[in-house]
Amino acid sequence: MLTPRQEPLLTESQIRERIDQLAEKIVADLGTDKPFVLAGLLRGCFMFTADLVRALSIRGATLKELDFMVASSYGSGTESSRKIDIQRDLQADISGQRVLLVDDIIDTGHTLKLTRDMLLTRGPEYVKTVTLLDKPERREIDMEADYSCFSIPNLFVIGFGLDYDQKYRELPYITVMEEV
């Protein structure tokens, strides 16, 4: 049986501090002269997306539109199926737009690569990828996020939007699911 570890892997304050640093870096790299479209990959990214949008706004970045996609490769398990199911596409027209594609985690790389490549066919100015977590040990394809808050070991994590069978998303920190 899997259960959440009591002590956080990443505390709420560590997460918020790192999101602020990441927003600073994104603004320094991409500027604030033109609004961007933020495309989030639901469901895991919702908390990260909200905090990132606020942190970018504080630094002068302007949001043209916020939209979401639903792309899933996990179902109710703890391992990626490597089969990406796009259950909801963007409604926003991203042609000619600057796009930030936000996901909660990059592990095998399949989901982020597929969705980024799909968005690139729609003629944006660019698509930059942003993730809260990166599990480089799990990478199966040549795909790296342009921006990432934390690199973590190959652990199954929950909290701050990430779930296990739709549970634990509400935790304000990130912790590990472990066998008991």
The percent of the chain in helix, strand and coil, each rounded to the nearest 5, is: 25, 35, 40
Give me the mean pLDDT over the 58-73 stretch. Answer: 90
Q: What pTM did the predictor assign?
A: 0.90
Pair 90, 65: CB distance under 8 Å: no
Does domain 2-179 correspond to CATH entry 3.40.470.10?
no
What tens digit of pLDDT does each residue of 91-150 get? Answer: 989 999 999 999 999 999 999 999 999 999 999 999 999 999 999 999 999 999 999 999
pLDDT of residue 79: 55
Distance separating alpha carbons of residues 7 and 67, to the nearest angstrom: 33
Q: What is the pLDDT of residues 11-45, one digit of tens each?
A: 999 999 999 999 999 999 999 999 999 999 988 89
For 147, the 3-state DSSP assignment is: strand
Catalytic residue among 51, 103, 104, 107: 107
User: Tens digits of per-residue pLDDT, 124-136?
Assistant: 999 999 999 999 9
Give the pLDDT confidence score for residue 8 in this predicted structure. Answer: 96
pLDDT range class, residue 173, cuts 50, 70, 90: very high
Judge contact between 127 and 66, C-beta under 8 A. Answer: no
Catalytic-residue membership of 134: no
Contact 67, 37 (CB under 8 A): yes
